[in-house]
Structure 1
Amino acid sequence: MAPIDPSESARAYLAYHLKRLREERGWSQPALGAKIHVSGSLISGIETRIRRATLKNLQALDRVFGLDQFFAPLYPRILEETGLPAGFPEFADAEAAAGMIRSYQNFVIHGLFQTADYARAVLAAGEQPTKLERLVNTRLERQEVLGQEDPPAIIILLDASILRRPFGGPEVMRVQLEHLLTLAELPHAYIHIVPESAELCPEGSFTLLSSPGEPDVSYVEMAGGRGQLIDDDEYVAELGILFELIRSKALTAEDSVAAIRKALEEL
């Protein structure tokens, strides 16, 4: 791999100096990861610029290296370079730190539960190939939360029409629905299908993030892949009530699995 030019970008600057400081101290990537409570693969990804550091990561790096605001101030520049819709990187960081994730989706399967091909089909409209792959990789990176040592509880409400909306074609949908069935077996993942007969009209998708000792926040999705992270207590509370109203109309987890199996058989 060619040497990194730290003047090329904020991510290049981070990668160059992170590797330099780590090697000066004789730490392996897993050893540094353990010090800031992340995986060695994340450290490797940051150093090779295929993974994005969160603000929490950068603050932890400053702390472990004994630096004063060296890495953390890079965060706004790194966000600018991602090419992701405004508001989404902050949501991804909050999602990764959440103790519970609750989400209602009325058009597509939640990003944490998407296969690569399904995500590619969902994100493809109007995107250049290089940017599309960056967006897909970012979405797949988020899914690491599912397999971490202490994963969040995840409750996903999916409108029934999603099971029959053929993003990517029948084979992509087949693999995606099989993936949903696999995820439904996880002890911390709960999938509920909202039948089309449910008399509800939430008018859009939204996600609620909760952690012990912290106020809930929400992320409201908009057209074009954009969204807004919301910390207004009153509005977040309203969305919490709406989520529970929708869940009251949803199928049980067991019946939801049966509905997914039925949709799979009908492909």
Structure 2
Amino acid sequence: MSAAALDLASLEEDAAEIRNFEPLIVPGLLQTPDYTRKLIAVGPAKRNAKALIDFRLSRQRVLRQPDPPRYIPIITEAVLRNRVGGDPAILRTQIRRLAEAARLDHVDLRVLPSTASAYLWLITPYALISLRPPGRLTVSVGDQLNRSIFIEDENEVAAHNEIFDLLLSATLSRTASLALIDEVASQS
């Protein structure tokens, strides 16, 4: 694993809250093994596929630990319909996983509807990870082609917080998001 991947996992372990915007794919903390496998298979990292899949799935433990962080992922409506790997069964299983996660008390999964696509120009995929006290530090983590960028500068993080709040204001409510996820699950 890269140092950046290990840093990300460490931040998630110490988080009080994780906010994540993913406009194209299911967030890593919610991916099923087959979905992750299909994503990795098309990239240059496929040589290390098993290790990467195992690592991503191990990171998901953070949502099942005692006193888990509050998790607020925002996905676009398109994510619910993108057939990663071309196999409808993979999407069906993944959508069911999203529905299960959305019902957890500490998870507030939101869907940005296609009618709010104008918001997509604001920012690329990123996560805001707020650490537990005593630090109270919030780090913004963005992925670029072959690296992750960790931003701790208070002004930049404040701008990313503002953008996340704008995105969140354009999403469906928690209840409506879950209803849409359930609707897509019933159709697949």
Q: What TM-score do the two structures reach when normalised by structure 2?
A: 0.91
**Structure 2 CA distance, aligned partners of 1:258 and 1:119?**
24
Is structure 2 residue 87 aligned with structure 1 residue 166? no
| 1:188 alignment partner AA | H
Q: What are the superposed Cα offsets for residues 160-192 of structure 1, whole Å, 9 maximum, x if unpaired?
A: 111111013200110000011111111101100
Counterpart of 2:104? 186
More strand by share: 2
* Structure 2: gaps (5+ residues): none
Counterpart of 2:126? 206
Counterpart of 2:181? 260
Cα 1:150–1:263 change in 2 (3 A) is same
Is structure 2 residue 141 aligned with structure 1 residue 219? yes
Work out whether residues 40 and 46 of structure 2, in 8 Å CA contact, stay in contact via their aligned partners in 1: no
Give the share of equivalent positions with the same residue, in percent.
31
Counterpart of 2:70? 153
Counterpart of 1:10? none
1:266 offset after TM fit, Å?
3.0
Counterpart of 2:20? 103
Alignment match of 1:241 (pick from 162, 166, 182): 162
Work out whether residues 77 and 111 of structure 2, in 8 Å CA contact, stay in contact via their aligned partners in 1: yes
SS at match of 1:145: helix
| 1:151 alignment partner AA | P
Work out whether residues 128 and 139 of structure 2, in 8 Å CA contact, stay in contact via their aligned partners in 1: yes
**Structure 1 CA distance, aligned partners of 2:175 and 2:6?**
34
Q: What TM-score do the two structures reach when normalised by structure 1?
A: 0.65
Q: How many aligned residue pairs are there?
A: 183
**Structure 2 CA distance, aligned partners of 1:147 and 1:128?**
27
Work out whether residues 219 and 228 of structure 1, in 8 Å CA contact, stay in contact via their aligned partners in 2: yes
| 1:102 alignment partner AA | R
| 2:56 alignment partner AA | R
Greater Cα offset, 198-207 or 131-140? 198-207
User: Higher relative CO (CA 8 A, sep ≥ 6), structure 1 or 2?
Assistant: 2
Is structure 2 residue 8 aligned with structure 1 residue 91? yes
Work out whether residues 155 and 191 of structure 1, in 8 Å CA contact, stay in contact via their aligned partners in 2: yes
Q: Structure 1 runs of 4+ off > 4 angstroms?
A: 127-130
Work out whether residues 17 and 69 of structure 2, in 8 Å CA contact, stay in contact via their aligned partners in 1: yes
SS at match of 1:100: strand
SS at match of 1:189: coil
Q: Say which one has the larger Rg.
A: 1
